[in-house]
Structure 1
Amino acid sequence: MVKEAKRAPQLPKQQLLILAVCRFAEPVAMTSVYPYIPEMIQSFNVRDDQVAKWAGLMSAVFSLSQCLTGIAWGRASDRFGRKPIILLALTCTMISSVMFGFSKSLVWAFITRSMQGLSNGNVGIIRTAVAELVPQRELQPRAFSVMPLVWNIGSIFGPSFGGSLVHPVERYPQLFGKIKVLEKFPFALPNMLISVIFLFGITSGFLFLHETLEERKSRPDYGLMLGKLLSAPCTRQRRRRRTWSSNEEEDPFLSGNSSEMSSPVTKPGVNVPPKQPRWADVFSRQSNINLLVYTFLAMHSVAYDQLLPIFMHYPVQSSKDPQVHLPWKFAGGFGIDSNRIGLLFTVYGVFGMLIQFFVFPTFARKYGVLNCLRACVLTFPLIYVATPFTALLPTDASRQGVMMGLMLIKCFCGIFAFPCSTILLTNSAASLKVLGTLNGVATSISAIGRAAGPALAGATFTAGVDIGYVVISWWTLAVVGIIGAVPVWSLVEMEGFGAIEDEDDDEDDELDDSDVFAAPTEPEPKTSALQSSGTHARKVSVATAPFEDVIGDESPSDSRQLTPATSRGSRDPSRRASLQLSRVASPIGLGPGVVPAGARRYSSDLGATRSGMGVGGTSYY
């Protein structure tokens, strides 16, 4: 028998694209608030020197709220499926984002921002769906770069929306001058436009997104049915491909309704319940270290991104000011408005998109995700230390130019660090059954870092400018980055889930080879005499009649065992034991009880007729 060449695994591009469409609205909504949050807080009659503190607290409220529901979203996706929870979270985030745009007081802004955090549970769920779609380790850098790529594309549009569309009545009187609602709520327009993007993502997910949770795949999906109906006139009718289950032993050789003959025969009275994952399976040693690394990474990286607009919006302080004592004591910013800040963040996002798409997959495959992560965590503190000194440059162009360079370096490191950490965390999971819960835990724990980071940065920035040392906040982030780099050196690259599947495929190929049914070491005669008990038995030479039935007792001489050449030395002993095959009779058309207990009937369903009669075959157990 000639082995068929194994096809190289390929990315499920269509489903990854649908997940990207569903994900796109969230980064747009999250990053759109960066440019105008300082102006929004100022509109609530907050003093300029208190803006950074309240902005940090607002970001902390969002992350703490996300922490409260991260595990709940993950466990809900493990129970009800990835698709319905993704769509529910998108809907809730859309509603809360629109409500945030209509804020008229600081209290209402905090409430709606908290609602955004409570409903933002898609980070871990989409990450889990990607892991279930692409378990192969060699494809993970490309697959896990898709969602960060979407974030970077969203970070291009988000700051543009937020920076240019606030105060629309004042900026664009010809278009919006007569709309009283926008005059009363000057920060509502960006969120109203973003809600359209949310609706597009929700609709696309409902119509075309497939469920990735194994236990929910077999359930009817009316959204997919409607999507096929709507897209049928626009697409060519393709031959329907059969979807094989993960357990090959449960599949008949040909498609069709299964029958009693094609179902496995189990021992009477034996009921094996499915094994429920335990919390100990979620919190393995490598998973715990990865969670710690991810939390510190989110803490200082997100805090840096959210402190930058405040620093850029803060008034310029002249180097000739008597309160300035270089090189350490100064408390100035850039003094630019939200429109300019939005433009800088747009360039920031474009650069990140290019790095994510063209550079990251190649580097990650060549140097390894762990090595890339280690290089990035060593670079972050250097960027944080250098950032405040850009305010000392003499002109606006020099300040913004040097700052743009530092932002691009930080963007490069962030583009590498987060996907690498995600891949390492995913591969550290004990099984796919706990992956949704693990990513939910990661969302919740990292939310603590995302809450503590901006709150700490905002508080230290306010305290620093009060005493004249703006470097305090940035150097605090540098210290956090150094602490977060320590556990990275304890990480180990795990094999992930794709390696297990590949090993099983190799074992199946070995079983398909003809040497599996090779004759045993001792030669067997083609026929034997009748036994004294009267039972007819006929031993068959495999070389001449490999598929003839054998009737007789289950003696050791009747079994066909794998030779050492066909078994892998590294294979688990239980696996080798399960590959010891014994041929038994399997007459067709008879009810349960004929086939011995524990045997499995492999049937093509050719004889599954109403009369119960069919075609014979051979069973192995």
Structure 2
Amino acid sequence: MASKAGAEEGERLLDDDAGVEKSATLTPRVLEDKVTWSNLPHKKQLLLLALCRLSTPLSNACLLPYLYYLVKSIVSDPDHPSAPQRISRLTGLLVAAYPIGQMLTSMLWGRVSDTYGRKPAILIGLTISVIANLAFGFSRSIGTLLFWRVLAGMANGILGVMRTMTAEIVKDRRYQTRAFLAPPLIFNSGRVAALAIGGCLADPVDNIPWLFGKSGLFNVHRYPEGVAWTIKFPYALPALFNGTVLLLCLTLAALWLRESLPTKEKDWDLGIAIGKSISKFVARKLLRKTSSGYSPVQIEEGEVLIADVPMAQASTSGASTPTTFSPRPKRPAFRDIWTPRLLKTLVAFGMLPLHNATFLHLFPVFLSMPAVSNDHPTVLRFIGGLGLASPTVGLYLATFGICGILLQLFLYPRIQGRIGTVGVLRVANSIFPLTYVFAPYLSLLAANRTTKWLAMAAILLSQVMARTMAIPSTVILLTEAAPRRSVLGTVHGAGNTLSALASATGPVIGGILLARGIDIGAVGLVWWTWMLTVALLALAWSFVLKSTDAEKRTEVELESN
């Protein structure tokens, strides 16, 4: 009991909101000097939380490879000369509908999670996401597609809650860089799978004829055109896959994800109780593990008992010294949260998706657009896409998504350790403009079988590298800018709201400008007037931000002494 009480006191000393002076003599030296993936605390909880993050790429990225063809299958007279412009505008609306839903609910999810807990918010959001994904696949009108996209976005307003939970699970700042990289790694893995699966499972009668075609294994009734329901709903199969995976993630979270809100983390949880029973049953019946007759004290991953602290640090006289703690301060008023530093960070946080979301929407559409023979192109005036099929688009984007995962694993931590979080953001923001300048010229290479693939690889690799460095950097900076740990849910809710607004605005403007560019014979209009301008402004704004890495190093040194 004494050890447990000592451990609780040690944790209170480390809490950012405790309002007491941190004592170097009482702070246990619990972590190795070198931060690695192997000694990252609470890996199981971070993995469960990262799996919950799959709701975003499955809901949002899976449709990108086939979005152009989905809209084309719904609009009237798809072969009309003006159809590409109409399709471009509608794809922009469908992409924007998702972040609009996020924007409407992100702050609400944040405040709800600050009051009632992180886990309930995540479970409710995942449940709605399952329903919205399934319904989207069986919708055959623009209106219903927009409705389910908005609802899916509202459900995924929990993204800020998940980021808050990451900060609460791993409290030590030395580990927060890698902790904030863990969910994006699963996110990017899910995005890779979603892009590949979305492209390959769309229109399965044509893309997977050996399963769904005239002689396919699943065409048990031998309909002359293929499996009947896939003909009526050609884009339902990716949605069914999404819903199944999200239902599995929801089940895992309900049974094993622990609450992290300090005021709720000790509450009894029915899901955790059921999960423990299942774990014991599996260990006893399936893995044939037997009990030794003793009940060892369980220590959560990352926790350290006070017994690990040298006695000389506990007391210099050989006797325990009573320590008094000041009461925990109240949560600051809502208006006091928005410090100048936080507001500056929020601007940077919102500028990134303003151009990045536009790229993620436009690039698959650009690759899917019909190739055009430009007989007399100029530097600024040329049109057309690359005419790639949806499976090709999905697999190609997924391949470079794997590059993003490798970059996050091996490149980002090293660069961040050398030049700091703000430095990494500045490097990333300097790459984006170059990508947007050269991307539209791919249409001039549509007829060249070899060069176009190499050029596409260069464009995608540079953009993936830039966003791989920029996204975790902005999340870390936003977490550090929060004035109190107790308002992290609100801060990340605000960040998610701003990010969703930018993610909705960018694709809408991008779709309009792409259509306008096609009209005037300049497909690069959207790249050079919108995305390039925003990227340059984001680069300039990154120099307004101040690095906190020196402060973090000082704090680490104090805690290690």
TM value normalised by structure 1? 0.73
Alignment counterpart, residue 175 of structure 1, candidates 209, 212, 217? 217
- Whichever residue aligns with residue 47 of structure 2, its letter is L
Aligned to 1:528: none
* Matched ranges for 1:482-493 at <5 A: 482-493=536-547
Who is 1:27 aligned against?
A: 57
Query: 2-side partners of 1:214 and 1:500: how far apart?
Result: 26
Are residues 128 and 498 of structure 1, via their aligned partners in 2, closer, same or farther at CA, if it must alter by over 3 Å?
A: farther
The one of 206, 214, 225 equivalent to 2:273 is 225
Q: Displacement, 1:7?
A: 2.4
Q: Write the mapping of 1:566-581 to structure 2, written as runs, cut at 5 A.
A: none
Query: 1:503 Cα deviation (Å)?
Result: 8.6
| Residue 359 of structure 1 pairs with residue 448 of structure 2 | no
CA contact (8 A) 1:281 1:434 kept: no
Alignment of 1:41 with 2:77, yes or no, is no
Q: Distance in 2 between matches of 1:74 and 1:496?
A: 30
Q: 2:535 aligns with which of 477, 481, 493?
A: 481
Give deviations 1:341-393, integer Å, cap 9, x for gaps. Answer: 01111112111111111211222122211101001111101110110112112
- Provide the residue aligned with 1:349 in structure 2: 401
For 1:379, which of 398, 419, 431 is the aligned residue? 431
Kindly indicate whether the alpha-carbon contact (under 8 Å) linking 2:369 and 2:384 is maintained by their aligned counterparts in 1: yes
Moved more, 160-169 or 66-75: 160-169
- Please state which structure has a larger fraction of its residues in helix: 2
Shift of 1:501: 8.3
The amino acid that maps onto 2:29 is K
- Render the CA deviation track for 1:14-59: whole Å, top value 9, x for unaligned: 1111112222243123211001111111111252221111111111
One-letter code of the match for 2:356? S
* Higher relative contact order, chain-length normalized (CA < 8 Å, sep 6+): 2
Counterpart of 1:319 in 2: which secondary structure?
A: coil
- Please tell me the residue identity of whatever aligns with 2:113: S
CA 325–228 in structure 1, closer or farther in 2 if over 3 Å, else same: same
- 1:81-130 CA-to-partner distances (Å, cap 9, x unmatched) read 11111111111111101111111111111111111111112211111111
Q: Quick one: structure 1 residues 497 and 212, their matched pair in 2 at CA, closer, same or farther if it must change by over 3 Å?
A: farther
Counterpart in 1 of 2:359?
Answer: 304
Q: Does structure 2 conserve the Cα–Cα contact (< 8 Å) formed by 1:66 and 1:443?
A: yes
CA contact (8 A) 1:334 1:396 kept: no
Match in the other structure for 1:610: none
Decide whether aligned partners of structure 1 residues 496 and 231 sit closer, same or farther in structure 2, where only a CA change above 3 A counts.
farther
Contact 2:191 2:398 survives alignment (8 Å): yes
- CA 132–471 in structure 1, closer or farther in 2 if over 3 Å, else same: same
Q: Looking at CA atoms only, which structure, 1 or 2, has the larger radius of gyration?
A: 1
1:505 is displaced (CA, Å) by: 5.8
1:242–1:496 CA distance, 2 compared to 1 (3 A): farther
2:531 maps to amino acid: L
Q: Deviations over 1:307-327 (max 9, x none)?
A: 01111111112132xxx4322
Matches within 5 A, 1:154-553: 154-171=190-207, 172=209, 173=213, 174-177=216-219, 178=221, 179-235=227-283, 239-241=296-298, 275-320=330-375, 324-393=376-445, 394-475=447-528, 476-494=530-548
Q: CA deviation at 1:6?
A: 1.9
C-alpha distance in 2, partners of 1:84/1:110? 27
Give me the whole-angstrom Cα distance separating, in 1, the residues matched to 2:449 and 2:146: 33
Contact 2:133 2:239 (8 Å CA) reproduced: yes
More deviation, 415-424/353-362: 353-362
Aligned to 1:152: 188
Cα pair distance change 1:504/1:89, threshold 3 Å: farther
Q: What does residue range 59-208 of structure 1 map to in structure 2 within 5 Å?
A: 59-171=95-207, 172=209, 173=213, 174-177=216-219, 178=221, 179-208=227-256
3-state SS of 1:36 partner: helix
- 2:362–2:511 contact (8 Å) kept in structure 1: yes
**1:127 touches 1:439 (CA, 8 Å); kept in 2?**
yes
Query: Displacement of 1:182 after TM fit?
Result: 2.1
Residue 54 of structure 1 corresponds to 90
Scaled by the length of structure 2, what TM-score is found? 0.81
Partner of 2:44: 14
The verdict on how the C-alpha distance between 1:504 and 1:79 changes in structure 2, with shifts beyond 3 A counting, is farther
Q: Distance in 2 between matches of 1:482 and 1:370?
A: 16
8 Å Cα contact 1:156-1:350 kept in structure 2 = yes
Q: Cα offset for 1:239?
A: 1.9
Using a 3 Å threshold, how does the CA distance of structure 1 residues 176 and 148 change in structure 2: closer, same or farther? same
**RMSD of aligned alpha carbons:** 2.9
Matched letter for residue 537 of structure 2: I
Aligned-partner Cα distance in 2 for 1:497–1:134: 18
Deviations 1:477-509 (A, max 9, x none): 001111122221111233699889869967xx9
The residue that corresponds to 2:79 in the other structure is none
Instruction: Note closer, same or farther for the CA distance 1:502–1:210 as it changes in structure 2 (3 Å cut).
Output: farther
Question: Whole-Å Cα distance in 2 between the matches of residues 346 and 471 of structure 1?
Answer: 24
CA contact (8 A) 1:100 1:109 kept: yes
Distance 2:551 2:280 in 1: 35
Q: AA paired with 1:431?
A: R
Q: Which runs of 5+ in 1 are unaligned?
A: 249-263, 510-621
8 Å CA contact 1:370–1:420 kept in 2: the answer is: yes
State how far apart, in whole Å, the 1-side matches of 2:99 and 2:250 are. Answer: 23
**Alpha carbons of structure 1 residues 497 and 93: separation in structure 2 relative to 1, 3 Å:** farther
Hey, what's the Cα distance between the residues in 2 that align with 1:326 and 1:291? 40
Residue 3 of structure 1: CA displacement? 9.1
**Preserved CA contact (<8 Å) 2:367 2:385:** yes
Partner deviation per Cα, 1:288-340 (whole Å, 9 max, x = no partner): 111111111011011101101111111112132xxx43222101110111111
Indicate conservation of the 8 Å contact 2:27/2:559, yes or no.
no
2:26 and 2:133 map into 1 onto residues whose CA distance is: 56
Distance 1:382 1:210, change over 3 A: same
The one-letter code sitting in structure 2 at the alignment partner of 1:290 is T
Tell me the CA shift for residue 136 of structure 1.
2.4
In structure 2, relative to structure 1, the CA distance for the partners of 1:58 and 1:203 (3 Å cut) is: same
- What SS does structure 1 have at the residue aligned with 2:450? helix
Decide whether aligned partners of structure 1 residues 72 and 496 sit closer, same or farther in structure 2, where only a CA change above 3 A counts.
farther
Q: Secondary structure at the match of 1:326?
A: coil
Task: Check conservation: 1:135, 1:496, Cα contact below 8 A.
Answer: no
